[in-house]
């Protein structure tokens, strides 16, 4: 499948020539990675079966794991979804463009390959000028999962995309580092009570302030393959680098002392240890190979740094990555814990 992956550098302005070129590739059925506010997505024309199947092939993604379709406006949803509930319209008004994906009944125009054969479709309008201009210029709804090889951490820069997908996709639009760093909140709108299938920046509390009761239907551990799950993506091992990941959760002092023990234990066995640490812990635990999750009480910094930190330490051939789980667990912190728990081979609570 060796392709010559083009790198297009875009500023996001209306009429940007690089974006026009990327849109042309999309219209012709190609695959283009592009930045959104959450993570980089790997896009293709959502209504073109062949184009969408190229996404699955490039990522090595299981065919039953459906894609999110990115739209440029609320109106565009009417063409793709039917029986759109009133609450979904309220959420669009409140949070779009933004990191919120809504699952609704699909119209038959959306092919099976895009929805993994489900009778629902996931829709979102991203809050990123490059993404929006690309959607506008292509004139198409754009199916786009995160632009990583299946099972790897989601990409937050164009370099991450290239390290996984160079030679496997037609182009990447480089728009610099994304602003959020974790994927969107996914909400199933098809039942009586809307249901969060994946946590993200937009929290249950924020959703409830807009539409009333919302349920949670995710847990933070990887499901066994055999289990039937609502969101097919939830059953696959996610976000994991090749290194062994150990998460230590708890209060700062207890986490630090357990991490000290683990570090000296692994060092004595000759392992190459990498640490993902809060700034507070970093001052106390000076190990050569560290990556900062940011300030302990600023979970939005952990959100932005988590995936790039896992990739950074993995690239430097850490045998073991120990993650400091003493950062603030609420707000977007909930989503950070969800992702890091899924990436972890072992979770230690102290
Ligand atoms: O922030 C994001 O959502 C990023 C950017 C690129 O927009 N995209 C993203 O896509 O994270 P992906 O494919 O990596 O994750 C989509 C998740 C998967 O867990 C998938 O199973 C779920 O959404 N999903 C998609 N369509 C669904 C549907 N019809 N029903 C239930 N779950 C669905
Ligand atoms: Mg993904």
Of 44-48, 92-96, 249-253, 307-311, minimum mean pLDDT range: 249-253
Last residue in a domain, options 179, 201, 216? 216
Name the residue of 67, 120, 220 to mutate for ligand 1: max ligand atoms within 8 A of Cβ: 67
Let me know if residue 13 belongs to a domain: yes
**What's the pLDDT at 85?**
98
Q: How many domains does the chain have?
A: 2
Ligand 1 pocket test target in 101, 185, 306 with most atoms within 8 Å of CB: 101
* Strand pairing class (68-70; 195-198): unpaired
Q: Are residues 264 and 128 in the same domain?
A: no
Domain assignment present for 235: no
pLDDT at 165: 98
Contact at 8 Å (CB) between 33 and 171? yes
The reported pLDDT for the residue numbered 225 is 39
**Surrounding residues of ion ligand 2, Cβ less than 5 A:** 146
| CATH code of residue 122 | 3.90.870.10
Inform me whether the pLDDT recorded for 307 exceeds 60: yes
196 pLDDT more than 90: yes
State whether 50 and 113 are in the same domain: yes
pLDDT average, residue stretch 294-323: 96
Is the beta carbon of 67 within 6 A of some atom in ligand 1? yes
**Mean pLDDT of all residues in 176-194:** 97
- The DSSP annotation for 258-324 comes to HHHHHHHHHHHTT--EEEEEEHHHHHH---SSEEEEE-TT-HHHHHHHHHHHHHHHHHTT-SEEEEE
How confident is the model over 134-172, as pLDDT tens digits?
Answer: 999 999 999 999 999 999 999 999 999 999 999 999 999
Does some domain include residue 274? yes
Residue 232 Cα: closest atom of ligand 1: 21
Query: Which of 43, 52, 66, 123 for a ligand 1 pocket mutation test, highest count of atoms within 8 Å of Cβ?
Result: 66
- pLDDT at residue 12 in the model: 67
DSSP for 147-176 reads SS-TTSPPPSSHHHHHHHHTTTSSEEEE--
User: Is the pLDDT at 100 greater than 80, yes or no?
Assistant: yes
Please state, for a pLDDT cut of 90, what percent of the chain lies above it. Answer: 86
All residues at 6 or more sequence positions from 244 whose CB lies less than 8 Å from its CB, including other chains: 319, 320, 321, 345, 346
* pLDDT average, residue stretch 273-293: 89
- Confidence band for 227, pLDDT divided at 50, 70 and 90: very low
Displacement of CA 278 from its chain's centroid (Å): 21
Domain boundary among 216, 236, 266: 216
- Does residue 224 lie in a domain region? no
* CATH number where 273 lies: 3.40.50.11030
Residue 102 forms part of a structural domain: yes
> Do 68 and 135 belong together in one domain?
yes
Nearest residue (by CA) to ligand 1, atom 12, is 145
Please indicate, yes or no, whether residues 202 and 77 belong to a single structural domain of this protein: yes
Short-list 216, 169, 210, CA closest to 191: 216
Is pLDDT of 331 > 80? yes
Q: Based on the domain organization, do 45 and 137 belong to the same domain?
A: yes
Q: Which residue has the higher pLDDT, 51 or 239?
A: 51
Indicate which residue's Cα is closest to atom 17 of ligand 1.
Answer: 233
Contact 187, 91 (CB under 8 A): yes
* Domain-embedded: residue 145: yes
Is the pLDDT at 223 greater than 50? The verdict is no
In terms of domains, do 276 and 328 share one?
A: yes
Closest C-alpha among 207, 215, 185 to residue 198: 185
Q: Are 39 and 306 in contact (CB under 8 A)?
A: no
CA–CA gap between residue 349 and residue 63 (Å, rounded): 36
Question: Beta strands 6-9 and 171-174: pairing type?
Answer: parallel
CA distance 301 to 278: 9
- Tell me the CA–centroid distance for residue 265 and ligand 2, in Å: 34
One domain, residues 135 and 256: no
According to DSSP, the residues that pair with 216 across neighbouring strands are 196
Domain-located, residue 232: no
Residues 315 and 207 in one domain: no
pTM for the full model?
0.94
**For tokens 């009429």, what's the residue?**
15
Give the separation between CA 186 and CA 209, rounded to whole angstroms.
Answer: 17
Classify residue 234: in a domain, yes or no: no
User: How far is CA 99 from its chain centroid?
Assistant: 10
Q: Are 250 and 349 in contact (CB under 8 A)?
A: yes
**67 CA to middle of ligand 1, Å?**
5
- Nearest residue by C-alpha to atom 19 in ligand 1: 233
User: Is residue 36 lining ligand 1, measured as CB closer than 6 Å?
Assistant: yes
Residues 130 and 170 placed together within one structural domain of the fold: yes
**Any atom of ligand 1 within 6 Å of the Cβ of 65:** yes
Same domain, 179 and 284: no
Nearest atom within ligand 1 for CA of residue 198:
19
Quick one: 161 and 15 in the same domain? yes
Q: Quote the domain boundaries for residue 151.
A: 6-216
Do 12 and 118 fall into the same domain?
Answer: yes
Q: How many residues in the chain?
A: 350
Task: Judge whether residue 131 has pLDDT over 60.
Answer: yes
């Amino acid at each position: 499948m060796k392709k010559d992956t083009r790198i297009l550098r875009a500023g996001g302005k209306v009429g940007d020539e690089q974006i026009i070129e990327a849109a042309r590739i999309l219209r012709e059925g190609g695959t283009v990675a592009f930045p959104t506010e959450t993570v980089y997505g790997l896009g293709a024309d959502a209504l073109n079966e062949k184009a969408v199947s190229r996404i699955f092939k490039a990522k090595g993604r299981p065919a039953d794991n459906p894609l999110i379709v990115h739209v440029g406006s609320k109106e565009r949803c009417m063409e793709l979804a039917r029986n759109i509930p009133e609450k979904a319209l309220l959420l669009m008004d409140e949070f779009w463009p933004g990191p919120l994906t809504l699952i609704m009944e699909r119209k038959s125009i959306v092919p099976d390959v895009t929805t993994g054969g489900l009778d629902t479709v996931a829709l979102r309008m991203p809050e990123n000028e490059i993404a929006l201009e690309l959607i506008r210029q292509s004139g198409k709804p754009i199916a786009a999962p995160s632009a990583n090889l299946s099972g790897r951490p989601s990409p937050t820069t164009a370099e991450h995309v290239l390290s996984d997908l160079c030679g496997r996709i037609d182009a990447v639009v480089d728009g610099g580092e994304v602003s959020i760093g974790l994927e969107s909140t996914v909400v199933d709108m098809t039942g009586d009570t809307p249901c969060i299938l994946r946590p993200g920046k937009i929290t249950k509390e924020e959703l409830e302030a807009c539409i009333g009761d919302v349920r949670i239907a995710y847990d933070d551990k990887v499901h066994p393959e055999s289990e039937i799950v609502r969101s097919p993506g939830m059953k696959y091992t996610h976000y994991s680098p090749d290194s062994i990941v150990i998460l230590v959760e708890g209060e700062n002092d207890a986490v630090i002392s357990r991490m000290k023990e683990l570090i000296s234990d692994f060092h004595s066995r000759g392992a190459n240890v990498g640490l993902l640490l809060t700034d507070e812990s970093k001052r106390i635990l000076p190990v050569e190979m560290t990556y900062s999750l940011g300030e302990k009480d600023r979970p939005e910094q952990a959100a932005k740094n988590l995936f790039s930190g896992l990739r950074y330490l993995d690239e430097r051939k850490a045998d073991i990555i120990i993650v400091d789980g003493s950062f603030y667990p609420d707000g977007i912190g909930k989503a950070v814990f969800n992702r890091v728990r899924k990436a972890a081979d072992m979770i230690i609570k102290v």
